[in-house]
Structure 1
Amino acid sequence: MSPKSMFGLALVAVGLLVASSSLYVVKETERAVLLKFGAVEEADVKPGLHFKVPIMNEVRKFDGRVLTLDTQPQNYMTVEKKGMIVDYFAKWQIIDVEKFYTATGGDTNNANRLMAQRINEGLRNQFAKRSLLEVVSGERDELMDKLTDDLDGFSRSSLGIHLIDVRVKQIELPQEVSGSVYNRMTAEREREAREHRSKGKEQAEFIMADADRQKTVIEAEAYRDAERIRGEGDAIAAANYANAYNKDPEFYTFVRSLNAYKKAFQDKQDVMLVDPNSEFFRYLKDAQGKQ
């Protein structure tokens, strides 16, 4: 290989080396700062391909996704001076790359340590204002929301971090107080259950009384309507009987006598003591009904 070819290859190698040292890529999931001799030259480098000057410039990249702070359980005291062991976690994300780099040196461990100190202090102050029952019961979510809002302002202004959420994973009580706390919680739930049962019984009695009243009204109205219809039917029947009697009184009397005979002699065991010459046997002696 000629000296000219060797020189050309050397130039290409140097060019590739310079290019590899001068070009860098920032991913969508990353945040980056461009430093010039250690000082911040570009605070928030956008994702994509970028150019830098070797030796003079340095690029520091950080994870731009939501990160988790998970610490060891801590001991806190309530307003009654009762201890508890609290295990919590926090979610945070870098929003100001320059401030984050300046405050933490770009080290997420330093960021976690600084935030853990403030969260521990905030939890200690919040728990010290509340009783053990309040901390264990439903006020815990309200407490954590307030703590998150308070600390988010500090983390934004001091660390360039958005504190998204702080949540308690577990609260363990000392053995000497756990029994009494659980007993108080059980008694409270039983009291609420009794109140619900009492209200339900009261409503049930009201519904039953209203149903009985409606039943009485419906039966009274039905009886009234039935009596009215029965009276109207009896009136129509009496009118029909009267019309039939007026048309042929003798035939009407004969039919009534036959019905009376049928009812009187429907059982073979019946015995009647009646004068044979009585009006009852009028049509048995004579089909014309003559005496």
Structure 2
Amino acid sequence: MTRLERRVNMAAVFIPFIVTAVAIAVLWGDWIGWSDVVVFGIMYVLSGLGVTVGFHRMLTHRAFQTHNFTRYFFAYLGMLSVQGPVIDWVADHRKHHAHTDVEGDPHSPHVGHGDGLSGALKGLWHSHVGWLWETHGEASARKYAKDLVEDRTMRILNRKFPLIVVGSLLIPTILGGLLSWSLKGAFTGLIWGGFVRIFLQHHVTWSVNSVCHFFGRRRFDIEDKSTNVFWLAIPSFGESWHHNHHAFPRSAAHGLKWWEIDPSQMVINLMKRLGLAWDVVTITPERQAQKLIGAEKPVKKKKPAESDEKVAEPVA
């Protein structure tokens, strides 16, 4: 990550927080209207799916295949969330899977923070937001995201991150102005669809790093400490079925039970029906049963080509 990208990223942590605090205290009620709700919803859904469907399931884990234009479009949408350039995001996340909850994990709450309540609080702080000052963007892109580094268009998008951040604020401003046909609507669109949306989206995503490695339920026999957290499922577009995801990283679906709501999976299924996605990775009930806690381990080992447990991209 370049110095400019790091500064933009750090500003994206503090400025939305400050604006959100001021907006709720001063503008709530009189300065929020129907156009602001619409703009907030549009921006939250598009940029959120850019992260969950695009950055995470498509680019990081290759849970499905798609056309190049769709890949680049989702990469752009993901950067509208202001969580860093696409290649850095993917490299960090692949490193997280390569070293989950052990030394080398960029944002584990369980490594190097001490014992007891103090250690737990330090770990939660680090995994939620503290890692942005310490380990964010340090994963080698050449090692962990070689496929994206070798993609010229993806490199160009990655370099344009600061401009895309500007777009992330300009788009809701224009939408708010057009919907309300007023300067006030443009300004409140910037506030609610821009800064407040970025603030909430950040903390939902960071909660998957922190909450979903500390609190919640587990049912699969895996070594890391990932958990499923049901109340985060809708705002995170299904990412909070995080234990399921760590059990089967390449799965396009993170919600593996009928009641585990996974909006990102719904979008991928729709893309498949429209011919925009193919080779969608699914995990059979039999495979899931083999990994349940207390399940009898099969004697026969799986062939390498059948493995669904590793990140799709080699890290060498």
TM, length-normalised to structure 2: 0.18
Larger relative strand fraction? 1
TM, length-normalised to structure 1: 0.19
- Could you say which structure has the larger radius of gyration? 1
Q: Which has the higher contact order (CA 8 A, sep 6+)?
A: 2
